[in-house]
Amino acid sequence: MSRTSAQWTQKPKLPPTHYADPVIYSDPDIFGEEKEKIFRKVWHLAVHESEVANPYDYRVYQHPGGTQLVIVRGEDRKIRTFYNICPHRGNLLVYEPAGNAKKLVCIFHQWAFNGKGDCIDIPRGEAGYQERLCKSDVSLKEVRTEVGYGGFVWVNLDDNCGTLAEHIGPALDYMLPELEAEPLETLWYYQAHLNTNFKLIHDTNSEFYHDYLHYYNRVTGMLDPKSGYFQRKYTAFPNGHASVGSMEVKYDAYKGSGRSELGWPQLPHKGWKLVDLFPCITFNLRTSVLRIDSYIPLAPDHVILEFRILGLKSDSAGQRRQREKDAAVIWSPFGRNLHEDLLASSGQGAAMAQGSEPMYVLQAREEDHTIHDEVGMRHYLAEWSRRMGRSASNPLAVPLARAHAA
Amino acid sequence: MNANRTQVEELVYDTCMLLDARDFKGFLGHCDQQFEYRLSAYSPEIKREMTWLDHDRAEMEDLFQTLPKHNTDPSPLTRNAVVYKVTVEETGKRASVVSALQVFKTAVNGGVTQLFAIGKYFDTVALDGDAPRLLARHVKLDTRDLGWGHHIPF
């Protein structure tokens, strides 16, 4: 029997840890709080070191907390991150997404800065400022930066944050042998603007029950009882991270899969490992390709997804081509799985838009933490609730205005 | 030369119409047995060409056969090509063809049309048969953000 409005919006008869109030996916004030309490406080994966391989290389990064950053490899080869803003009149310091420059020069008035963030030139400085302001007063704002876990460059806007290792904890230990077997290289970087909430996409990465969405995954895993698919287990780690156990993927069960025998150092043959990091990063290593998802939430209903595909720096041209072919089958913008994942997440965003009277969202499957258990999402929202100071199943119990004041 | 150019232009335009209609068999009917398809985009962020599709003819056939089993955006695409340049080899047996490409998407729900992608076709066409055949197509996209993406090749 269909439901009335009161029945539709009634809380499920489940523990409050097993469902989410849909308002967390659409409310602008909650999104504002997420920026302050989560995005500006945690470590984010900004770029890979191969994208700033040489001295004076730089890459820009739009931080999820709302600040434009520029990541620079200095003359001393150290990678540093700065606010991408000229301290003079607040213009963007760097406009190009990537480049190489011995000094960063603002186009507006030609103020110049070196790779350590020092101001090294102010045109007609003494004539205009006399003794009142000197170059050392106007250096760039540096941002906490660490490189690790496969050569990724991580940043944190909070000057007083803990270390990256404290944030990651043991969550990536499971994948470290593969991540650090050889230097990696970014083969693809692309973005996708989507009208949905960032958590809905991360939810999709945090549960495998949605393999029913993917014909490709059904035939290469679920339909083969010997694949180990249903034995894969979730492991929850502190700070909201989780990993999923490996399996042997049966690529030859999909006609035209194109998956090669290339493999990945240390990864079991045709293996598949996945780690989700709070609040919006996924490491997904599947046979021969490492895919990294990271998000730049712009609004409660608008997110930029960043996709990276990585291979090995030592790859020959032929190996690189094969790795790209392997990635393309499921993960390019034309790939079988990515399009399906993003359709589903966007559909959720449309159906649960603010004011649409959506129901509570179920995250209640319990299967001894195996592959169709929804413990990954529950673990994520437990950390979200802790950081936000409000329960994901009853977020408005703490008034938003009071939360802002606090 | 003029006859060849007209035939080549009609080949390019027909492939667009066939793909728009999701008539994959018809599209492959214009492709040589040695046909190779590649779709790529250049990333200024990493200064690298990214190859998002890379198939020979058999792999294209497999792709087209499996697509109906997937969940795909049903919104139709409209490919608008303009043949810029046809360069026929001295032997007269092959031509290199450069065409501008715009792909529009019309939402199946409501009918709003939006520009989806722009780029170019770089085609190699065989001229030694009764009708021109596609030997190779390289789609070079300028657009890199394709939103939730699409399953049907451009």
Residue-wise DSSP of A187-252: EEEEEEEESS-HHHHHHHHH-SGGGGG-HHHIIIIIT-TTS-GGG-BEEE-GGG-EEE------GG
Contact A256 B59 (CB under 8 A): yes
Asked whether the predicted pLDDT for residue A258 surpasses 80, the reply is no
Contact B62 A255 (CB under 8 A): yes
Q: Locate the domains of chain A by residue range.
A: 5-21+182-405, 44-156
Q: How far apart, in Å, do the first and last CA atoms of chain B sit?
A: 28
Question: CB-based burial of residue A345 (10 Å sphere; 0-12 exposed, 13-18 middle, 19+ buried)?
Answer: buried
Residue B38's closest chain A neighbor by CA? A325
Confidence band, pLDDT 50/70/90 cuts, at residue A403 = very low
Partners of B141 on chain A (C-beta within 8 Å) are: none
Q: What is the largest CA-CA distance in chain A?
A: 81
* Interface membership of B87 toward A (CB under 8 Å): no
Residue A406 has pLDDT above 60, yes or no: no
The CATH class for the domain spanning A44-156 reads: mainly beta
What mean pLDDT comes out for the span A49-62?
98
Partner residue facing B39 (CB), from A59, A321, A334: A334
Chain B residue with CA closest to A258: the answer is B59
CA–CA separation, A196 vs A351, rounded Å?
10
* pTM across the whole model: 0.95
| Residue-level pLDDT at A118 | 98
Going from the N-terminus, what domains does chain B have, and what CATH number goes with each?
Answer: 2-141 (3.10.450.50)
Vertex A290: Cα angle to A294 and A171 (nearest 5): 65
Q: Do A328 and B53 touch (CB under 8 A)?
A: yes
Q: Judge whether B145 is closer than 8 Å to chain A, CB to CB.
A: yes
- Range A130-142 average pLDDT: 97
Instruction: Find chain A residues with C-beta within 8 A of B147's C-beta.
Output: 192-194, 342
Task: Extract the tokens encoding A361.
Answer: 């969202």
- Residue B3 in this model has a pLDDT that exceeds 70: no
Q: Do B41 and A59 touch (CB under 8 A)?
A: no
Instruction: Give B44-94 pLDDT, tens digit per residue.
Output: 999 999 999 999 999 999 999 999 999 999 999 999 999 999 999 999 999
A378 falls in which pLDDT band (50, 70, 90)?
A: very high
Residue A61 has φ and ψ, to the nearest 5°, of -145, 125
Please tell me which of the candidates B44, B70, B146 has its beta carbon nearest to residue A336. Answer: B70
Interface test with B, best of A61, A323, A343, A346 (most B CBs within 10 A): A343
How close is the nearest chain A Cα to the Cα of B6, in Å? 31
Residues B53, A255: C-beta atoms closer than 8 Å: no
Give pLDDT tens digits for A269-284.
889 999 999 999 999 9
Q: Which residue has the higher pLDDT, A44 or A258?
A: A44
Nearest to A92 by CA among A74, A69, A115, A72: A69
**With an 8 Å Cβ cutoff, is B115 touching chain A?**
no
- For the domain covering A5-21+182-405, report its CATH number: 3.90.380.10
CB contact (8 A) between residue B50 and residue A190: yes
Summarised one tens digit per residue, pLDDT across range A360-372 is: 999 999 999 999 9
Q: Which residue of A has its CA nearest to B69?
A: A215
Is A340's pLDDT higher than 50? Answer: yes
Chain B CB contacts of A292 under 8 Å are none
Between chains, do B54 and A321 touch, taking CB under 8 Å as contact?
yes
Q: What is the pLDDT of residue A252?
A: 80
Query: What per-residue confidence (pLDDT) applies to A404?
Result: 47
ipTM associated with this complex: 0.95
DSSP letter at A137 equals G
Does A256 reach chain B within 8 Å, measured CB to CB? yes
Give the whole-angstrom CA distance, residue A175 versus residue A327.
Answer: 19
CB A259 within 8 A of CB A220: no
Question: Any CB–CB contact under 8 A between B48 and chain A?
Answer: yes
pLDDT at A259: 62
**CB pair distance less than 8 Å for B52 and A215:** no
Quick one: pLDDT band at residue A207, thresholds 50, 70, 90?
very high
What's the pLDDT tens digit per position in A295-332? 999 999 999 999 999 999 999 999 999 999 999 999 99
Q: How far is A300 from chain B (nearest CA, A)?
A: 17
- Position A405 scores a pLDDT of 44
Chain A residue with minimum CA distance to B74? A343
Calculate mean pLDDT across residues A117-134. 97
**For residue A216, what are its two tokens?**
């490709």
Q: Do A192 and B145 touch (CB under 8 A)?
A: yes
Between A116-120, A127-131, A154-158, A228-232, the lowest mean confidence (pLDDT) is in: A228-232
Range with the lowest mean pLDDT among A78-82, A230-234, B121-125? A230-234
Chain A interface test: which of B37, B50, B67 (most A C-beta within 10 Å): B50
pLDDT at position A402 over 60: no
Is beta strand B31-43 parallel, antiparallel or unpaired with respect to B133-141?
parallel
- Is B114 touching A (CB cutoff 8 A)? no
Would you state the pLDDT for residue A334?
97
Averaged pLDDT for residues A145-155: 98
Query: Is the model's pLDDT at A249 over the cut of 90?
Result: no
Q: Tell me: the pLDDT tens digits for A281-299? A: 999 999 999 999 999 999 9
pLDDT bracket for residue A248 (50, 70, 90): confident
